[in-house]
Chain A
Amino acid sequence: MASKKIHAIYTDDDLLLQAVKQTRAANYHISEVFTPFPVHGLDHAVGLAPTRIAITAFIYGLIGLGVAVAMMNYMMIDDWPQNIGGKPSFTYYQNMPAFIPIMFELTVFFAAHLMVVTFYMRSKIWPFKKAENPDVRTTDDHFLMEVDVENHDVEKLTKFLYDTGASEISLIQNEQDH
């Protein structure tokens, strides 16, 4: 289905937040919102589920810890045990106090980097990716709300968005499906 969308541009974050709430209350579907900075409470107002990225970070941290333990156990205990300064090298457990700094560092290393990579992949941002904000002013001081027309009356919807305080309203015809 060739989808029609309406882009409503607001010039203030409070106005936008109010408009988002009114639009959802009127049962219109907001497909996207572009803002120049994180507007507090907007994700909740739009109805987004909380992000699970912190959970992935925890899992990546555990992986990092596991890698550190496996690596040092193999290198220092199994493969080539050495008596360094009279410290025990028979078991990983006995020699562990000396290994704690690197266990910690690798936990942080894995958690931080893999979480950021996950963020970039999930949000589809990477070098040479083309920006997709429909109006360049949305990285400066304008806020753009994209509303699906669906089977609503365009005139009525435009009038409604007018009354929510939009400063510019434009109808977008999408050629291909999403």
Chain B
Amino acid sequence: MSSHYEAPIREPLVLGEKSYHDISVDVGAPVLGKASKSWWIVFTIALVAFLWGLGCIIYTISTGIGVWGLNKTIGWAWDITNFVWWVGIGHAGTLISAVLLLFRQKWRMAVNRSAEAMTIFAVVQAGLFPIIHMGRPWLAYWVLPIPNQFGSLWVNFNSPLLWDVFAISTYLSVSLVFWWTGLLPDFAMIRDRTTSPFQKKIYGILSFGWSGRVKDWQRFEEVSLVLAGLATPLVLSVHTIVSFDFATSVVPGWHSTIYPPYFVAGAIFSGFAMVQTLLIIMRKVSNLEAYITVLHIEYMNKVILLTGGIVTVAYITEYFIGWYSGVPYENYTYLSFGAATGPYWWAFWALIICNLIVPLTLWVKKLRRNIVWTFIVALIINIGMWFERFDIIVIDLSKDRLTSSWTMFQPTFVDIGTFMGTIGFFFVLFLLYARTFPVIAQAEVKTILKSSGESFKRLRAEHGDDHSHTQTVEAYPADAGPAANVEDKHFDSPFDSTQDDVENNEVDFEAHRGKIDNLLSGVGTFDPEMQTQDDLKRINGVGPVMEMKLHQLGIFTFEQVSRMTDREYDLLDEIISDFPGRAKRDDWAGQALILKNNN
């Protein structure tokens, strides 16, 4: 039997007393439940922003790029800034799923699905900008090497802009199949759990008929590993090639050999900041705090610290070498004394403060593990990394070689609207994803449950590393055949608290008459004429047996459970002595309140 040992010093990655079934339930809940009010509010805001951006794009295309704030000196501004910003954000997902897979980092499993989704949605936003910038987007296919009516004049394979076409389309499509292949078992789980025939059909199609055969899993793991091996150099190549757009030019400040590694580090830096922004909200809204823990947030903060450090070194190098060269042009580049004190001083200092100074607070462990502070830092980094690209593009262009053409850039409402529109579009996609996709790679999390789950770690601490990890599952009503798995005969249950004999489940009414009345007076009675009963098993910690006992006591609805306080919990423990403290520990009342509101 394989060992599930993991060094006790490592903190658990899955909190609470989770079984495999609990993971399915928790990951399936946002998909199978109903959307909350706050989801609809945020979705509406995002949709309005998206539609506003769409209007700006239509206005741009129908009128011409003159509606942007570009001028004769600054021919690239917000469009390419936004393009590079979004591509950069799109780097964290593949980094998490590919590089961390190669390094066998278990913590990636809880965050990779959402990070990859974010990657794909961000690259979609990025791709919009070059297409809009073409002015005639219906001719976008001209970037492809296809025979044409101009005597087959081919695309220019010497141009970094064409490399971009290949790099980004390869990146988008490979990320997509990587993501989807990982999703198949999780879609299958939703397909097999849902009770709605419509959902069963949809998730049946999405899961490609995944059955979970042992050979399929063998191939699945190999494919994941090889895709990770391919995606790792791919993710590094994409931002390298994006940096070539600048580095192969002759504009001072752009023409820099440091760009490829510096851009890649910056991309991962901004990508992780966006992952933090999204996941800190999602773990709360979708009740996934047991899977995306403070430890995950701390790990990501450490990646931010590392890549932020690389970016800092790159900034300082650029600044120093520019000054040390003594070339006067270098004093007009985005990292120079001239930039720090010139008309764009605010953009320069926004870059320095947001990307260099604020992330330094993450060296403090307390702050690194503080969720609110992490969220603030992540937002600041997102802003700072936008300014980095703005500075590189606009500051470097604003003072070109002819002093007579020096000028500044003034964005129009179309520039701003298009950018806001892509943010709206991004959130529209992400919010739809959060409601319809299994947002955690549950099949993968199940593989680390025994090594990194809190309850199993405690088990090893109490009973030694060789203790049996065999888990019992609360029996479903058997479909067919005899039940043979008799406890204590074939295996030992690791959890003493759940060892009660399933058959012995009658509540002793006579002994507890007074207490039951007392309990019902607290939570209210159930009137079968007026109310319908809820599926209490949806409360985490309530299985079929517990539900039956609650029914015997007269508790049938989430509303009744949600009224439970400490007094009712104590009464419940006295009447049903099987799981002392369980109801309080799992916060049944809080869970029931959420379920009630979602119904």
Hey, which bits of chain A sit against chain B, CB under 8 A?
Answer: 7, 11-15, 17-18, 32-43, 46, 48, 50-51, 53-54, 57, 61, 71-72, 75-76, 79-80, 82, 84-85, 87, 95, 98-99, 101-102, 104-106, 108-109, 111-113, 115-116, 119-120, 122-133, 135-142, 161-171
Of B155, B214, B241, which contacts A48 at CB under 8 A?
B214
Q: At the interface, yes or no: B87 with Cβ under 8 Å from chain A?
A: no
Give B255 Cβ to nearest chain A Cβ, in Å: 14
What string of 1s and 0s marks CB contacts (under 8 Å) between B486-504 and chain A?
A: 0000110000000000000
Give A96 Cβ to nearest chain B Cβ, in Å: 11
Most chain B CB atoms below 10 A, which of A12, A35, A76, A170: A12
**Docked complex Cα distance between A122 and B479 (Å):** 31
Give A39 Cβ to nearest chain B Cβ, in Å: 8
Q: At the interface, yes or no: B279 with Cβ under 8 Å from chain A?
A: no
**Docked complex Cα distance between A108 and B238 (Å):** 12
**Docked complex Cα distance between A130 and B201 (Å):** 10
Given that A51-B218, A51-B222, A108-B233 are known contacts, is A167 also in contact with B153, CB under 8 Å in the complex? no
Contact B211 A132 (CB under 8 A): yes
Q: At the interface, yes or no: B597 with Cβ under 8 Å from chain A?
A: no
Of B145, B234, B468, B480, which contacts A71 at CB under 8 A?
B145
Contact B214 A137 (CB under 8 A): no
Q: At the interface, yes or no: B444 with Cβ under 8 Å from chain A?
A: yes
Of B151, B177, B211, B450, which contacts A131 at CB under 8 A?
B211
Tell me what chain B mostly uses at the interface: helix, strand, loop, or mixed: helix
Q: At the interface, yes or no: B329 with Cβ under 8 Å from chain A?
A: no
Interface residues of B in 103-151 (CB under 8 A from A): 145, 151
Of A75, A119, A125, A161, which contacts B154 at CB under 8 A?
A75
Q: Name the segment of B188-196, B420-428, B582-590 touching the other chain.
A: B188-196
**Docked complex Cα distance between A51 and B215 (Å):** 8
Of A40, A43, A75, A137, which contacts B145 at CB under 8 A?
A75
Q: Add 4 more A-B contacts to A39-B217, A43-B217, A101-B244 (CB < 8 A).
A: A12-B470, A102-B166, A109-B173, A133-B188
Contact A166 B170 (CB under 8 A): no
Contact B208 A108 (CB under 8 A): no
5 closest A-B pairs by beta carbon, nearest first, are: A129-B209, A167-B485, A141-B20, A170-B481, A136-B192
Given that A38-B221, A76-B157, A137-B192 are known contacts, is A166 also in contact with B484, CB under 8 Å in the complex? yes
Contact B1 A14 (CB under 8 A): yes
Contact A108 B230 (CB under 8 A): yes
Give B261 Cβ to nearest chain A Cβ, in Å: 16
Give A66 Cβ to nearest chain B Cβ, in Å: 16
Give A159 Cβ to nearest chain B Cβ, in Å: 9
Q: At the interface, yes or no: B295 with Cβ under 8 Å from chain A?
A: no
Q: At the interface, yes or no: B76 with Cβ under 8 Å from chain A?
A: no
Given that A12-B470, A14-B469, A102-B157 are known contacts, is A139 also in contact with B192, CB under 8 Å in the complex? yes
- Taking CB atoms, residues of chain A closer than 8 Å to B214 are 32-35, 39, 42-43, 46, 48
Given that A163-B490, A165-B485 are known contacts, is A37 also in contact with B444, CB under 8 Å in the complex? yes
Contact A102 B163 (CB under 8 A): yes
Chosen A-B contacts, 26 in total, with CB atoms closer than 8 Å, are A12-B469, A14-B2, A32-B214, A34-B211, A34-B214, A36-B189, A38-B447, A54-B225, A80-B152, A84-B156, A87-B158, A101-B167, A101-B244, A102-B162, A102-B166, A113-B174, A113-B177, A123-B216, A130-B204, A132-B209, A140-B24, A140-B193, A165-B485, A167-B483, A167-B484, A168-B483
Q: At the interface, yes or no: B227 with Cβ under 8 Å from chain A?
A: yes
Contact B471 A127 (CB under 8 A): no
**Docked complex Cα distance between A7 and B484 (Å):** 13
Of A38, A57, A85, A142, which contacts B217 at CB under 8 A?
A38
Of B167, B173, B473, which contacts A142 at CB under 8 A?
B473
Contact A138 B212 (CB under 8 A): yes
Contact A43 B189 (CB under 8 A): no
Of B157, B177, B181, which contacts A72 at CB under 8 A?
B157
Give B152 Cβ to nearest chain A Cβ, in Å: 6
Contact A140 B189 (CB under 8 A): yes
Give A53 Cβ to nearest chain B Cβ, in Å: 5
Of B167, B226, B478, which contacts A53 at CB under 8 A?
B226
Of B188, B473, B479, B480, which contacts A141 at CB under 8 A?
B473
Q: At the interface, yes or no: B37 with Cβ under 8 Å from chain A?
A: no
**Docked complex Cα distance between A123 and B167 (Å):** 29
B interface residue count range (under 10 / 10 to 19 / 20 to 34 / 35 or more): 35 or more
**Docked complex Cα distance between A82 and B443 (Å):** 53
Give A104 Cβ to nearest chain B Cβ, in Å: 6
Contact A40 B447 (CB under 8 A): yes
Given that A116-B181, A132-B209 are known contacts, is A36 also in contact with B443, CB under 8 Å in the complex? yes
Give A73 Cβ to nearest chain B Cβ, in Å: 10
**Docked complex Cα distance between A137 and B244 (Å):** 51
Contact A101 B237 (CB under 8 A): yes
Q: At the interface, yes or no: B328 with Cβ under 8 Å from chain A?
A: no
Give A169 Cβ to nearest chain B Cβ, in Å: 5
Given that A75-B157, A130-B204, A140-B20 are known contacts, is A108 also in contact with B217, CB under 8 Å in the complex? no
Of A40, A105, A119, A139, which contacts B189 at CB under 8 A?
A139
Give B241 Cβ to nearest chain A Cβ, in Å: 6
Of A18, A112, A127, A164, which contacts B227 at CB under 8 A?
A112
**Docked complex Cα distance between A131 and B208 (Å):** 8
Of A13, A33, A109, A136, which contacts B213 at CB under 8 A?
A33
Name the residue of chain B whose CB is nearest to the CB of A166.
B484
**Docked complex Cα distance between A75 and B158 (Å):** 12
Name the residue of chain A whose CB is nearest to the CB of B481.
A170
Interface residues of B in 158-208 (CB under 8 A from A): 158, 160, 162-163, 166-167, 170, 173-174, 177-178, 181, 184-185, 188-189, 191-193, 204-208
**Docked complex Cα distance between A82 and B153 (Å):** 10
- Taking CB atoms, residues of chain A closer than 8 Å to B155 are 75
Q: At the interface, yes or no: B220 with Cβ under 8 Å from chain A?
A: yes
Contact B443 A37 (CB under 8 A): yes
Contact B491 A141 (CB under 8 A): no
Contact B219 A119 (CB under 8 A): yes
Contact B212 A139 (CB under 8 A): yes
**Docked complex Cα distance between A140 and B212 (Å):** 11
**Docked complex Cα distance between A35 and B210 (Å):** 11
**Docked complex Cα distance between A135 and B478 (Å):** 11
Of B152, B469, B480, which contacts A170 at CB under 8 A?
B480
Contact B490 A131 (CB under 8 A): no
- Taking CB atoms, residues of chain A closer than 8 Å to B476 are 137
Contact A128 B221 (CB under 8 A): no
- Taking CB atoms, residues of chain B closer than 8 Å to A85 are 158
Give A106 Cβ to nearest chain B Cβ, in Å: 7
- Taking CB atoms, residues of chain B closer than 8 Å to A40 are 2, 447
- Taking CB atoms, residues of chain B closer than 8 Å to A135 are 479
Of B191, B215, B480, B490, which contacts A165 at CB under 8 A?
B490
- Taking CB atoms, residues of chain A closer than 8 Å to B478 are 168
- Taking CB atoms, residues of chain A closer than 8 Å to B151 are 80
Name the residue of chain B whose CB is nearest to the CB of A127.
B205
Give A24 Cβ to nearest chain B Cβ, in Å: 13
Of A43, A99, A111, which contacts B230 at CB under 8 A?
A111
